[in-house]
């Protein structure tokens, strides 16, 4: 098949904005395509050489592309570069260049689909130093034989800009029309949702028709498209929608990971990108926590402070990507916990069509929980009050809210779909802090990891003048220099107590208690309700105090202040209320 057929279809698609017309053009092309190369044609239409999850990048820099055009056409590089600066679209530049091509070649061959595909694959697989030149020459070879319109699409594909608005959904429409009829669209989509490789689906359809789809199965190593949640505004509404009762899970605020566990482990993002390299610790922890042979599970990966045990904002994980440090240091300094919430495949069995409660049981049985692998917290209830309490606990634990999940018989895992089987609820009970506060250390927790033998975190309190008590408001573990950490036990030595000081009100039990004596300046990110802290307990809400989330020591020891000069409980309550109004 000639590449010009693909190019002219792409042109027709580019020239229309109507989805139905796009579909027609695609159907026409698919019908004309030999089944042997159906997968290749489908990849090329999408400007790809493989499904996204394989992570194969063409990675051709724009400069190299312009050079290849220069080589193939004989037109001076500067001129081509100027054209590019003027148009900003490599496609238009390539087309223009080919129209003006000076090197009239006698040995021009028509470009076939197979040749285009195999050249691009070869380019993608050439890695390492000194290959840039080689890749450029391979590309120049293609351009040498390309007609202007072909050059337009080849060049856009080379720099990964072949975005013509051919959404997956349009292709699925086209596939079901070309190989069956529209009523079978759902079947095609289900296959794609559990095996998101459009080329493979197209080929199976071309070779075996609709029934061929039965052989498309969930496969360890091939990511499944994620199930997504709807949103409702109140817990009673959610319970009603769920038929009177639902499972509420903590909604962790991290990064969703779909883990494919066999002898080795591969981790995929919600967008099906391979993230295994970023999270070698998660892969290892999952492998050792898993009791079976093979599984596909989903969970949320959340960074934690190993010293306070508290969850951290998920942005902390971005240190893994930045590679500012080596990955090894990032893994050590920014540990994460994987909270598993679903299992889609287990030792040869597809569980996606099983109801939620069965999947949940299977998940629980399949893993030994550990420090690094846990199962999401859950409460099954039909009582809005109980759900609300659970929600407060979730917020206090550092979560975004709760995820309600249907427990009905038809509560399957709907791959790739957003629906009411899962409903998220994240009403914002948190408010941002803009000012620092002065807090009093009333105890300390011993450190872990690098802080073993030292204090890992201090239990901090605000002062309540009405009761003449110190009420706890956070655990403080960030912002200390190595020197501070070294010195903390010495500084607090004269204040250490075995038991809680009579003027301290705390629900937490630190490893050592202090006489309230020092004052430290602290900057937090937000104030939230918390049943674990006593600051302003019961003032905003029954059964809850206030907590400062993500607190950091500013480095300022307020030696000028006595503990009774610390920020008061009232001030913190006021800050919470005021910030709620600003929102
Ligand atoms: P949102 O991103 O706000 O649409 O919320 C959906 C996301 O919440 C999912 O994609 C997961 O990444 C995340 N999540 C956190 N905890 C859970 C849970 N227990 N069950 C399902 N999803 C969860």
Taking the alpha carbons at both ends of the chain, their separation in whole angstroms is 60
Please report, for residues 226, 293, 298, the alpha-carbon distance to residue 258 in angstroms, rounded to integers and kept in the order given. Answer: 8, 16, 4
Give how far Cα 89 sits from Cα of 49, 56, 155, 156, Å.
Answer: 21, 23, 9, 8
Using one digit for the tens of pLDDT, what is the confidence trace for 25-41?
Answer: 999 999 999 999 999 99
- pLDDT score recorded for residue 224: 97
The pairing of strands 418-425 and 228-231 is parallel
Residue ranges of the alpha helices (H) in 167-222?
Answer: 168-179, 185-194, 198-208
Fold of the 3-158 domain:
DNA ligase i, domain 1 (1.10.3260)
Per-residue pLDDT, 128: 73
Looking at the chain, the whole-number percentage of residues with pLDDT higher than 70 is: 95
At the topology level of CATH, where does 228-426 sit? D-amino Acid Aminotransferase; Chain A, domain 1 (3.30.470)
Q: What was the pLDDT predicted at 367?
A: 98
> What does pTM read for this prediction?
0.76
Other Cβ atoms less than 10 A from the Cβ of 13: the count is 21
CATH architecture label of 437-582: Beta Barrel (2.40)
Residue-wise pLDDT for 187-236, tens only, equals 999 999 999 999 999 999 999 999 999 999 999 999 999 999 988 889 99
- Whether 260 lines ligand 1, by a CB cut-off of 6 Å, is no
- Mean pLDDT in residue range 538-563: 89
Q: List, in sequence order, every residue forming a beta bridge with 342; answer none if it has no partner.
A: 298
Domain ranges of the chain: 3-158, 228-426, 437-582
Going from the Cα of 251 to the center of ligand 1, the distance in angstroms, rounded, reads 6
Ligand 1 atom, smallest distance to 424 CA: 5
pLDDT tens digits along 485-514: 999 999 999 889 888 998 899 999 999 999
Closest ligand 1 atom to the C-alpha of 256? 12
582 falls in which pLDDT band (50, 70, 90)? Answer: very low
Model pLDDT for residues 81-101, shown as the tens digit of each residue: 999 888 878 999 999 999 988
- Choosing from 251, 405, 454, 475, the catalytic residue is 251
Q: Are 256 and 298 in contact (CB under 8 A)?
A: yes
- Is residue 251 flagged as an active site residue? yes
List the residue whose alpha carbon is closest to atom 10 of ligand 1.
256
Q: For all residues of the chain together, what is the average pLDDT? A: 90
Q: Is 270 in the pocket of ligand 1 (CB under 6 A)?
A: yes
Question: Is the shortest distance between the CB of 153 and ligand 1 below 6 Å?
Answer: no
The CB of 229 under 6 Å from ligand 1? The reply is yes
Unique residue bearing structure tokens 């605000």: 462
Count of other CB atoms within 10 angstroms of residue 466: 8
pLDDT 10s digits, 429-480: 555 677 789 999 999 999 988 888 899 999 999 999 888 899 999 999 999 9
Residue 376 beta carbon below 6 angstroms from any ligand 1 atom:
yes
Q: Is the pLDDT of residue 569 over 80?
A: yes
pLDDT-based confidence at residue 106 (cuts at 50, 70, 90): low
């Amino acid at each position: 098949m000639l590449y010009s057929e693909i190019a002219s279809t792409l042109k027709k698609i580019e020239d229309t904005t109507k989805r139905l017309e796009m579909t027609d053009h695609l159907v026409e092309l698919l019908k004309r395509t030999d089944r042997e190369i159906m997968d290749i044609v489908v990849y090329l239409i999408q400007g790809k050489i493989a499904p996204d999850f394989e992570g194969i990048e063409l990675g051709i820099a724009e400069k190299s592309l312009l050079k290849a055009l220069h080589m193939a056409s004989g037109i001076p590089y500067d001129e081509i570069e100027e054209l590019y600066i003027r148009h900003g679209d490599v496609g238009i530049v390539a087309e223009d260049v080919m129209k003006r091509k000076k090197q009239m070649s006698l040995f021009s061959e028509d470009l076939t689909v197979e040749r285009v595909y195999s050249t691009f694959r070869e380019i993608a697989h050439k890695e390492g130093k000194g290959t840039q030149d080689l890749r450029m020459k391979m590309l120049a070879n293609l351009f040498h034989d390309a007609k202007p319109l072909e050059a337009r699409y080849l060049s856009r594909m080379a720099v990964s800009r072949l975005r013509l608005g051919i959404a997956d959904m349009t292709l699925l429409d086209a596939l079901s029309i070309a190989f069956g009829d529209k009523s079978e669209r759902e079947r095609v989509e289900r296959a794609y949702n559990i095996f998101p490789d459009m080329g493979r689906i197209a080929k199976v359809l071309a070779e075996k028709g609709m029934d061929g789809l039965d052989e498309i199965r969930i496969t360890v190593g091939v990511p499944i498209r994620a199930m997504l949640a709807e949103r409702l505004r109140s817990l009673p509404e959610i319970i009603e929608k769920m038929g009177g009762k639902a499972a509420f899970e903590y909604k962790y605020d991290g990064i969703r990971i779909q883990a494919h566990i066999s002898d080795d482990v591969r981790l995929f993002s919600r967008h099906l990108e391979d993230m295994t390299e970023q999270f070698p610790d998660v892969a290892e922890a999952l492998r050792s926590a898993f009791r079976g042979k093979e599984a596909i599970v989903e969970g949320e990966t959340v960074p934690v402070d190993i010293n306070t045990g508290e969850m951290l904002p998920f942005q902390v994980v971005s240190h893994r990507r930045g590679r500012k440090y080596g990955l090894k240091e990032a893994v050590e300094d920014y540990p994460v916990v994987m909270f598993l919430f679903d299992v889609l495949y287990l030792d040869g069995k597809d569980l996606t069509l099983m109801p939620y409660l069965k999947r949940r049981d299977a998940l629980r049985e399949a893993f030994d929980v550990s420090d690094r692998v846990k199962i999401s917290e859950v409460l099954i209830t039909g009582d809005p009050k109980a759900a609300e309490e659970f929600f407060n606990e979730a917020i206090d634990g550092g979560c975004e809210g709760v995820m309600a999940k249907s427990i009905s018989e038809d509560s399957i895992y709907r791959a790739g779909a957003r629906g009411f089987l899962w409903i998220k609820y994240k009403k914002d009970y948190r408010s941002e802090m803009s000012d620092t506060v002065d807090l009093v250390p009333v105890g300390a927790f011993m450190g872990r990891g690098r802080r073993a033998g030292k204090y890992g975190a201090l239990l901090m309190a605000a002062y309540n003048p009405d009761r003449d008590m110190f009420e706890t408001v956070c655990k403080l573990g960030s912002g200390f220099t190595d020197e501070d950490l070294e010195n903390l036990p010495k500084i607090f030595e004269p204040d250490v107590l075995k038991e809680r000081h009579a003027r301290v009100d705390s629900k937490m039990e630190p490893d050592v208690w202090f006489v309230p004596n020092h004052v430290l300046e602290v900057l937090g990110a937000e104030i939230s309700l918390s049943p674990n802290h006593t600051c302003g307990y019961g003032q905003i809400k029954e059964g809850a105090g206030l907590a400062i989330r993500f607190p950091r020591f500013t480095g300022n020891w307020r030696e000028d202040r006595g503990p009774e000069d610390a920020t008061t409980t009232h001030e913190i309550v006021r800050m919470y209320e005021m910030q709620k109004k600003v929102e």
